[in-house]
Amino acid sequence: EDKVVQSPLSLVVHEGDTVTLNCSYEVTNFRSLLWYKQEKKAPTFLFMLTSSGIEKKSGRLSSILDKKELFSILNITATQTGDSAIYLCAVDGGGSNYKLTFGKGTLLTVNP
Amino acid sequence: NAGVTQTPKFRILKIGQSMTLQCTQDMNHNYMYWYRQDPGMGLKLIYYSVGAGITDKGEVPNGYNVSRSTTEDFPLRLELAAPSQTSVYFCASRGQGIVTGNTIYFGEGSWLTVV
């Protein structure tokens, strides 16, 4: 059974701090790892990672994948209160059904 | 382009009642999914479909049924609602292929309370 573990489960920081969210996985056949941001509604797509060592970047957010060690990190620099959300990591285990297995998420709270 | 549309957004059910959550997508996606999300938890897969006429169970299928008579629609049915089915339900779809197959589109969610 595919498994995705995120840490920490929750995190409280002050505006301007830098945070690192972790995601480790065990899957039968890896195809991709995806990061989502969720703010009281449907998750919104952030990044998709398929290759090791290639950083994906969007503004203050960046992410990288290590396929040898089976983990990914999501970095947020200069955090803002608008970054407060649940961050979900999901893995596509490579089946013909394209199912995603989600972690429990990291609840990030950014205080002013 | 509406994407993935779920209805209803909110519903309160009594124990033992039945209801159907509707999901439709207009992107001609083959793959559709139903997830549930409990407080403090990630999304768990209930059922999925890889095309019209084909459905299969996910991690937590008990108490639910689905059908996929058309490419566009993937309704989720609760036959005998139980308090354990109080949750937020998300329908999702994705395409196939290198460009479109790796992005999953979510509906806005359906908040269901069973009392």
pLDDT above 60 for B98: no
A78-102: average pLDDT: 89
Identify any residues that bridge with A109 across adjacent strands, giving them in sequence order.
A12
Structure tokens belonging to residue B110: 């359906």
- Is B48 within 8 Å of A43 when comparing Cβ atoms? no
Residue B27 DSSP symbol: S
- Is A99 within 8 Å of B40 when comparing Cβ atoms? no
Where are the extended beta strands (E) located within B64-103? 64-66, 76-78, 87-94
Give the count of alpha carbons within 13 A of A100, CB side only: 31
A110 Cα to chain B: minimum distance (Å): 18
pLDDT above 90 for B52: yes
Chain B positions contacting chain A at CB under 8 Å are: 31, 33, 35, 40-45, 48, 50, 56, 58, 90, 94, 96, 101-104, 106-109
Contacts of B56 in chain A (CB under 8 A): 97
Contacts of A92 in chain B (CB under 8 A): 102
Higher pLDDT, B13 or B94: B13
- Best mutation target, B57, B106, B108, B111, to test chain A (most A CBs within 10 A): B106
Percent above pLDDT 70 for chain A: 100
pLDDT above 50 for B49: yes
Q: Does A83 touch chain B (CB under 8 A)?
A: no
pLDDT above 70 for B99: no
pLDDT above 70 for A108: yes
Q: Does A4 touch chain B (CB under 8 A)?
A: yes
Percent above pLDDT 70 for chain B: 94
- At residue A83, φ and ψ (nearest 5 deg) are -85, -10
Q: What is the pLDDT of residues A22-59, one digit of tens each?
A: 999 998 888 889 999 999 888 988 999 988 888 999 99
Spatial contact of A56 and A64, defined as CB atoms under 8 Å apart: yes
Q: Does A91 touch chain B (CB under 8 A)?
A: no
Q: What is the pLDDT of residues B3-40, one digit of tens each?
A: 999 999 999 999 999 999 999 999 999 999 999 999 87
Percent above pLDDT 90 for chain A: 72
Residue B85 DSSP symbol: G
